[in-house]
Chains A and B, each alone.
Chain A
Amino acid sequence: MNTTVRQSTASVKTQAPPVDDSWIPSSCAFCYGSCSILVHRVDDVIVKIEGNPESSVGKGRLCAKGASGLMIHYDPNRLTKPLRRTNPNKGIGVDPGWKEISWDEAIAEIVGNLKRIRQEDPRKLVIQRTTTVTANKNPLQAFAFGFGTPNQSVSGGGLHCGNGAHLISGIMHASWGVVPDFENCNYAMYFGASKGHSAGHCSTSNIGLAADARARGMKLVVFDPMCNFASAKATEWVPLRVGTDAAVALAMCNVVANELGALDIPYLKAKTNGPYLIGPDGKYLREHGSDKPMVWDSTAGAARTFADAKAEDMALEGEFDVGGTRYRPAFALLKEHLKKFSPEWAEKISTVPAANLRRLAKEFATEARIGSTIVIEGVTLPYRPAAAIAFRGNQGHRNSVYNFLAVDLLNHLVGAADVVGSCMGFPPVNHGHPDTGRPSYAPVQTPDGLMEVGSWMGWHHPYPIHDPQLPQTLGLQAVFPMGMTSPLLDAPDREQTWERFGINYRPEMLINWGSNLLMSIANKDTMADSLSKYKFIVSFDLFLTETSDFVDLILPDCSYLQSVDSRANFPTIFSHPSGMGEWSWPIRQPVQPPYGEQRPFTQVLLELADKAGFLPDMLAAFNATLELQAPHRLDVSKKYSYEEICDAELKTNFGEERGLEWFKEHGLIKWKKKPEEIFWRHFIDVRVPIYWEWMVDLGPKVAALAEPRGLHIPLEYYQPMPDWLPCKSHECQQPGFDFFAFYYRDTIHTNSYTTENAWLNEAARLSPFSYTIAINNKSGQRLGLKSGDAIVLESETGRRIEGCVKLTECIHPEGIGVAGLANHWSKGMPTAKGQGVFFNDLLELTWDRTSPVNLNLDLCVKVKVTKIGEAP
């Protein structure tokens, strides 16, 4: 049949060789993963981006977003000149009447406002950034600290993605998130998470590790209302009613602890606060004087401090008389508490059959192989090859804290936490490069014997929990010590709240970097009202967005291919997966100059600080946050370029000879991980709290501040042991409101920003789910729907979003799944315009839909479905 066969020499064509043909090492910036890349530049044109195989961050491979980066960079809709509004009226779709102005004019106007506000009250300035590019935390934070404002916000970051997951991972695993030890795990249970399936931190590296684990035979059970990413690769998909994760997890904890008795007793004694004695008041018995929590020493027959008793002598069960008062170990209380969560009870709440919950709990406990050990690189370590993993979907509810904690307790009951094969934090221990011993961090023991993180991304450490105080910040964070980002900054009743909490200033100026606030937090009307109250908004952007309608000055930013960063990844609780291998510290470097009048925002911030008179304070903040050391500490009486600051950080960490120029040539530095770093838990004497004793006092203290000021604090959210508490959507009884709508993060997009990327948009348009509203086939048919019909989802508060329905077998009959946040309408993002569904427009930014503990937003909405158009 081969009528035409060609010899290989026939196709050789000659072309003039390029003058410049280079592969430049740098870093992606399309998600937290920030994978290491090689940028192929031919005669000043970036022709391709590939993964950098030298780096352990991404391991030489890229997801669709990373591979498509040059389409954002070369988008003809990029901003190239500073723009000033001429129309003083701000509103959604109201033309700002943009006028091109010079940088000198722009800087002068911003400096004028900064000087005035700094003199009046620096807290009137709000610094706002997207969380997507982790490297930008430091320059924006240094600017804010230098200026003197505590008001920093990260848009929907935290409120949607991790006030629960990150804080609790910090308390229980000393890290920003958790993932199975893919190299050794045999049985993983996921709850609203898709790590290893093209999502989340270390996304690309984890795809390979998870694939290896599947090939090796790791069983994956996924609890999720929708079967698409992790669930599509699962050995078993367990569909459940939206927002009921805590119910199924607690029922399985009950089976493990009370029906099976499959408990890692030595672990619970030595590595948790399970033995700590709890009094009738719910609090620790403390030694008089030292104030140390006490345990019951079975050998001594007496209460002793946790530091004095041997772990094996500590009682986990029983009741003990100390000084005439009865005390019980925390573990005994937890075990008893779990008894109320029967699988039959959980079935009613979650729709997951009780028999399945019993079976899965048994499988999990069996696979944990309690008591076993394994040798890794010559070191004998506990081996618990089972992991229960939760992330965004699980904790995107009012019951954020318990949904996440309940899942994690499964790990701690069987000792599967930060040991081989188990649920692992992204590595929170680093002994540093062998030449310099930097960067160096590890969790440390608190006075109560618990654990404080060694490395953390902004805000306060997750633990110890400080006492609530009257707030300084507009988000009232000081009142809620277990929260991070706050919806209260933009809430409709914020004015009243500020007044009641004694906030004696109001936000006047906003500096935004790369966030589209109008779409990324909640419904657009609430956000528009909040934004329209600012007197002056400056925004560093690549495109005119929906938020631009409220901005006074737009500054044309450089893309990631035109930018420099000494730390492209937040080291290392963001960028490195679990498991052995290498540490990498990559940089980001410009491979193209700015186009037109574009300027790197980092350099603009330094210039603004200088002209507004606070550059020394900003440099001092850099010295502190980057932990710069002599002789590379910045002299605050001098001026520096951002490149010089990057150089100082690199030399501080990696030695005099390895500054920015060395890194520009090499792209990254790497060194070997040690078992003591990765499986640190066995080596560091810290305990995790399976009983949250601090909640006993914290709830009433928060309530004492908040209740008189109009914020109701339901104390059932502040108990030391978790419970299932319904979302607002579970309480909705209105007829016709039959579905729980939720959104999830699509693998092909990073929130809504990448919908402007023409390659990704094209791929998403061809995907069955990326731009549609997924409804269960039978449920949809009952409503007379067919795929492609135009529908409206209406919330019980009357908010409406539109989109095309996709009927599918891959979703729970009561669930409605929407991929991310899209449907832009800005003329400045014409590719993105009209693509997909704007889920956030259903969300209310109200207190009754906010976790009263960590301020996470409730991201599920009970909706009514109405057909408004036939499929074409």
Chain B
Amino acid sequence: MRLAMVIDLKRCVGCYGCQIACKAEHGTPPGVFNTRVVKQEIGEYPTVNLVSLPVGCNHCSDAPCVASCPTGASFVWEDSGIVDIDPDKCVGCRSCMMACPYSNRYFVSERLDYYGDKGPTIIEAYWNAKTQLGVVRKCNFCRDRIMEGKEPACVANCPAIARHIGDISDPTSEVSRLIKERGGFTLQPEKGTGPNVYYLPA
């Protein structure tokens, strides 16, 4: 099985629900977004459009981040193809960040608190106790949720029902069907990394 995500740009309204639901699921610190929404203008007035593009780790089939990791901290789950990071093995060298053509990895070197000198909130303290500093972080398709039989937080929460996850190695799966029927595309395919996040045209 290889998990892939399909993001339907026709349905997405750029509400940032995924970006914040992800933050709520993983308690990521300031400046870290396992998924985020990028807004881009295409065209010129008056035939212009403002496109919302949610981005995150592409869980590439040939992930350069994994290949470049000197310690084996960046790895691929055999059961799903999810690209993940083992914080116990990560030494914070950031080779993976240099290798990733999508800039969707974050190095967290020190504790940053959302409310500054007031210190961590109760919820930040809860997450601080669970996470390590000096390591690289990124999206892992909410692997813990998937193991519990749930969808990733961004998929489950999306009010526009714009995100789907499923097995792209199964040609009958919903994600395979959507990619085929709607002309799904990946970002920067020319980099040759085999991204597993697909977009459906608006």
Contacts and interface: CB of A to CB of B under 8 A. Distances in A.
Contacts of A1: 62-64, 66-67
Given A4-B75, A46-B123, A830-B115, A215 B157 contact: no
Nearest to B11: A211
B101 to A, nearest CB: 14
A232 B119 CA distance: 39
Contacts of B74: 4
B115 A758 contact: yes
Contacts of B44: 809
Given A77-B118, A763-B19, A61 B157 contact: yes
B119 A198 contact: no
A67 B39 contact: no
A440 interface: no
A748 B16 contact: yes
Contacts of A647: none
Contacts of A233: 13, 202
Contacts of A762: 30-31, 114
Nearest to A776: B45
A76 B119 contact: yes
B166 interface: no
- Most chain A Cβ neighbours within 10 Å, of B114, B158, B202: B114
A208 interface: yes
Contacts of A811: 45
A74 B157 contact: no
A493 to B, nearest CB: 41
A213 B31 CA distance: 35
Interface residues of A, number: 73
Contacts of A45: 122-123, 126
Nearest to A777: B45
Interface in B122-166: 122-123, 126, 147, 156-162
A64 B17 contact: yes
Contacts of A95: none
Nearest to A760: B20
Interface string A742-776: 00000110000000001110110011110000001
Interface in A285-331: none
Main secondary structure of the interface of A (DSSP, over half): mixed
A8 B77 CA distance: 7
Interface string A56-94: 001111111011101100111100000000000000000
A74 B76 contact: no
A6 B77 contact: yes
Given A48-B24, A759-B20, A6 B41 contact: no
Nearest to B126: A45
B69 interface: yes
Interface in B76-130: 76-80, 84, 86, 114-116, 118-119, 121-123, 126
Nearest to A207: B159
A74 B127 CA distance: 14
Contacts of A131: none
Main secondary structure of the interface of B (DSSP, over half): mixed
A758 to B, nearest CB: 4
A51 interface: yes
A229 B15 CA distance: 9
A227 B157 contact: no
Nearest to A198: B15
B21 A67 contact: yes
B46 A6 contact: no
B16 A763 contact: yes
A51 B24 CA distance: 12
Contacts of B31: 762
B-side interface size class: 35 or more
Contact of A61 (B77, B114, B159): B159
B10 interface: yes
B43 interface: yes
A196 B80 CA distance: 35
Contacts of B75: 4-6
B19 A809 contact: no
A777 B10 CA distance: 26
B159 A63 contact: yes
Contacts of B122: 45, 74
Nearest to A766: B36
Given A70-B123, A767-B39, A759 B114 contact: yes
B114 A809 contact: no
Contacts of A228: 50
Contact of B115 (A77, A211, A237, A767): A77
A232 B49 contact: yes
Given A63-B15, A197-B13, A762-B30, A76 B157 contact: no
B20 A67 contact: yes
B49 A227 contact: yes
B24 A778 contact: no
Contact of A215 (B10, B80, B158): B10
Nearest to B143: A11
Contact of A74 (B24, B30, B45, B123): B123
B72 interface: yes
Given A4-B75, A5-B78, A76-B119, A239 B159 contact: no
B51 interface: yes
A75 B118 CA distance: 9
Nearest to A206: B159
A198 B159 contact: yes
A608 interface: no
Interface in B11-41: 11, 13-17, 19-21, 23-25, 30-31, 36-37, 39, 41
A59 B156 CA distance: 11
Contacts of B156: 50, 60-61
A667 interface: no
Contacts of A372: none
Interface string A1-41: 11111111001000000000000000000000000000000
Leading 4 A-B pairs by shortest Cβ distance: A758-B114, A4-B75, A198-B15, A64-B16
Given A63-B15, A831-B114, 9 more contacts: A4-B66, A8-B147, A64-B16, A71-B123, A208-B160, A231-B50, A232-B14, A759-B114, A760-B20
24 contacts: A1-B63, A3-B72, A4-B72, A5-B75, A5-B78, A8-B77, A42-B126, A61-B157, A64-B15, A76-B115, A197-B13, A207-B160, A208-B160, A210-B160, A211-B10, A211-B13, A748-B15, A758-B30, A759-B24, A762-B30, A762-B31, A763-B19, A810-B45, A810-B50
